[in-house]
Amino acid sequence: MAALHDLTALEQGTAVRRGEVSPRELAAHYLERGDEVGAFITRTPELALTRAESLLPVPDDAGPLYGVPTAVKDLNMTAGVRTTFGSAAYADYVPDVSDGITQSIETAGMVSLGKTNTPEFGSPCYTEPDVAPPAVTPWDRTRMAGGSSGGAAAAVAAGLVPVAQGSDGGGSIRIPASCCGLVGLKPTRGRISGWPMYGEVTGLATGGSLGRTVRDAAALLDVLAGRRAGDPSWAPPPSESFLSSCDRTPAGLRIARFVGPVIADVDVDPECVAAWESASALLASLGHEVEDITVPMPREAVPTFETCWAVLTALSPPPPGRESSLRPLTRWLSERGRAFSGPDFGLALGAMRRYAADCLIALAPYDAVLTPTLAVPPLPVGALRNDDDPEADFEAQKAFTPWTSAWNVTGMPAVSLPLHWTPSGLPVGVMLAARPAEEGLLLALAAQVEEAAPWADRHPPGW
């Protein structure tokens, strides 16, 4: 008989609605599983069990993920629960309000088991904060889970929760999805509300979902998506649920592909190229037209992205008197961001939007775009971090992730799919992106790919 954690998130939700398992039994099962992958900064077992008990009886209108355990990234405020933002400067911070993402999870009847690991302010693409052990991929626990949603990905991949939200400003959902063998979905800009902080002024970052299957990720996007009254902008509402989109079978799509890195001059690992080539062949076998194109965003766009990224970091200051608690990379980026004047930042934003427009126009004839997710398989813990030389650290991150940030610049939805493993058993993702607001088509295509080459029953050591 399958263990509870063998079930997908949607299967668990179905079992709850049928009365075959209670939310408390699910929560207790997951809480008994030890965290050996650095998935959590803070676990909340008592709150989780109390919350789970309050969900009975199951209402008639319960959604697909009602009663299902999950976790909240430690960048997202949770009322009454320590929220560190991955920083020692906020090690004892307890907010008195929950943000919109946390509220959406609660409204859906899901049960949070705690706060997942993230690097300081979500900036690096590795998860090695000062407030928790490094997040590692369960496929090889000497190697990184990626970042900044590394804890969320490690939790799902190791079977500590069935599905989890993350956030993505330059690849922070898709990078750990590739490292951990998961589906990682970054939705369209404006799909998920930034209430109540609205601090992301560049349009780069958004919430999103991580799951073992495309349908689990889609179901969580249904939970998270939607506008709030104060939102400055929002994506148009879908015509159907994102989960329902997975049941459509797309035919005859025109899919662009390129393998040239966007933001760094780097040799792409042969395993990542092999994953991309294999995905191309699979898409062609499904009846889609796959076409080679040139890299649609010029290298000149990189400095404008870096300006915006540095200013964003500078907009996340520590509490007074705790500046010395910040990591060297954060201090370096913040100093760089503060060095730009208001007009400098405004010009960079304008330039970034023009680069985005040119890219969107170039890609408009295509239904989807295929690239590798990362330039190499998951690296050893510490391979990118360089406290003595933060600039070298930043350049190493760019070389590791030379494609993901392009779709943050354009605002396009993008998903990393676990279609490949190296001979030594490390997962390697491939990435599909679609036109803005076309998550439904992207999910339909991803579900079609998963049906043709399923991966959900492949588990890491210790599962």
Q: Report if residue 384 sits inside a domain.
A: yes
pTM of the model: 0.98
Beta strands across the sheet bearing 206-211: 163-168, 206-211, 183-186, 414-421, 427-434, 368-372, 254-257, 289-292
Please state the φ and ψ torsions of residue 290, each to the nearest 5 degrees: -105, 125
Strand-pair category, 69-73 with 368-372: unpaired
Out of 123, 149, 167, 172, pick the active-site residue. Answer: 172
Give the whole-angstrom CA distance, residue 386 versus residue 171.
Answer: 20
Determine phi and psi for 88, rounding to 5 degrees.
Answer: -65, -25
DSSP string, 328-354: HHHHHHHHHHHTS-HHHHHHHHHHHHH
Q: How far apart are CA 410 and CA 190, in angstroms?
A: 12
80 domain residue, yes or no: yes
Q: What CA–CA distance (Å, rounded) separates 444 from 442?
A: 5
155 lies in some domain: yes
Nearest Cα to Cα of residue 360 among 419, 438, 287: 438
Q: Would 460 be classed as within a structural domain? A: no
Looking at residue 131, its pLDDT comes to 97
- The active-site residue out of 73, 115, 186, 398 is 73
3-state secondary structure 125-144: CCCCCCCCCCCECCCCCCEE
Answer whether residue 22 is part of any domain: yes
Q: What is the CATH number of the domain that holds 153?
A: 3.90.1300.10
* 183-186 and 206-211 beta bridge pairing: antiparallel
Which candidate in 98, 112, 148, 245 is catalytic? 148
Could you give the number of structural domains in the chain?
1
Examine the residue annotation and report whether 278 is marked as an active-site residue of this protein.
no
Give the pLDDT of residue 42. 98
Q: With contact defined as beta carbons under 8 Å apart, do 341 and 110 qualify?
A: no
Half-sphere exposure of 431 (CA within 13 A, CB side): 30
* 380 three-class SS: strand
Residue 28 lies in a domain: yes
Sheet holding 40-43, edge to edge: 40-43, 111-116, 69-73
**115 has catalytic annotation:** no
Nearest alpha-carbon partner for 372 in 457, 456, 266, 461: 266
Pairing of strands 289-292, 254-257: parallel
**Which domain, by its residues, includes 339?**
7-452
Active site residue 172: yes
Contact call for residues 163 and 393 (beta carbons, < 8 A): no
pLDDT of residue 21: 98
| Cα separation, 66 vs 16, whole angstroms | 7
Within a domain: residue 2?
Answer: no
Query: Residue 180, SS3?
Result: helix
Q: Would you write out the chain's pLDDT as a tens digit for each of its 463 residues?
A: 589 999 999 999 999 999 999 999 999 999 999 999 999 999 999 999 999 999 999 999 999 999 999 999 999 999 999 999 999 999 999 999 999 999 999 999 999 999 999 999 999 999 999 999 999 999 999 999 999 999 999 999 999 999 999 999 999 999 999 999 999 999 999 999 999 988 888 999 999 999 999 999 999 999 999 999 999 989 999 999 999 999 999 999 999 999 999 999 999 999 999 999 999 999 999 999 999 999 999 999 999 999 999 999 998 889 999 999 999 999 999 999 999 999 999 999 999 999 999 999 999 999 999 999 999 999 999 999 999 999 999 999 999 999 999 999 999 999 999 999 999 999 999 999 999 999 999 999 999 999 999 999 999 999 9
DSSP lists the bridge partners of residue 434 as: 368
Residue 167 lies in a domain: yes
298: number of Cβ within 10 Å: 11
- Identify how many contiguous H helices and E strands the chain contains and give both numbers: 15, 11
Q: What's residue 1's pLDDT?
A: 55
Question: pLDDT tens for residues 307-366?
Answer: 999 999 998 889 999 999 999 999 999 999 999 999 999 999 999 999 999 999 999 999
